Structure 1
Amino acid sequence: MKTRLLRRAWLLVPFAALAACSDVTGGSGGEAVAGLSIESSGSPLVTVNGASVSGTVTVQQGQQRPMDIVFRSAGGTVVVPSALQTVRVTIVNTGVAGWSGGEAGTLRGNQRGSTTLRVDLLSGGTALYTSPSIPVQVN
């Protein structure tokens, strides 16, 4: 009888593991990502709410600037990506600027000018969230 109960208990393990996982678009809080902020030293440089972008990411030519990408729900709550999710930053004109890293990364100013970047939150290579184009200025 005890062996039979243990076998049945093992059938519940996959469901318990799924219950412990966060929403694939949400991270630990289970809320969907609806926007983000790009911050430097804790101060927001850019805020994205839905399709609305406020601010510009700036860096000096020949310099590097550490930045953090903070995902947010529609209500503004911070959404932490799960360990299975990755962040990809794509810069349109890499001659002007470059990005290394993911959620915590570094913006490099390659040459003076402007370009845009896009942030994707990925799960297994599938985009769960894609930001609108975010302006980048290299001075």
Structure 2
Amino acid sequence: MEAREADKVWKIYFPNPKAVIPVLLEEGGQLDWITWGRRKEQPGSGPQGGWAQPSTLKAGDWARYSPRRGFVMVQRFMEKEGKFGEKNRQSHWLNVPDGYALECLVLGEGDARQAYIGTTGAPEEHKWIHDRWPVLARIR
């Protein structure tokens, strides 16, 4: 992802175990930098990974974490072609439209918070890149 803060541009990549993303909590109004998901080797009670897939949301798998809705305030996000583990995957940077953010779930409190990007199926014009896509939410 790419976020801007004043004249600084931040590129944030999930594989980095110190990855934090700018999140505006729905009930808050203050922008906080929150840890992006949880990697296999990291402690915590949240699920491994950085995404909340529709099937797990519908099944109620996230309810036990008492998630709060948040919005990841970035200007661009990156999707890689193909499946995880394939070699030479092409990266594609896509702009987040003005007035929109990436929807996320925030688990935990304080410094132990973790944010997971909500996903959905890719739009028809981008299915050739990846089958999963971040959920865009309008920001007021």
TMscore range, shorter length: under 0.3
TM-score by length of 1: 0.28
Structure that is richer in strand per residue: 1
Larger Rg: 1
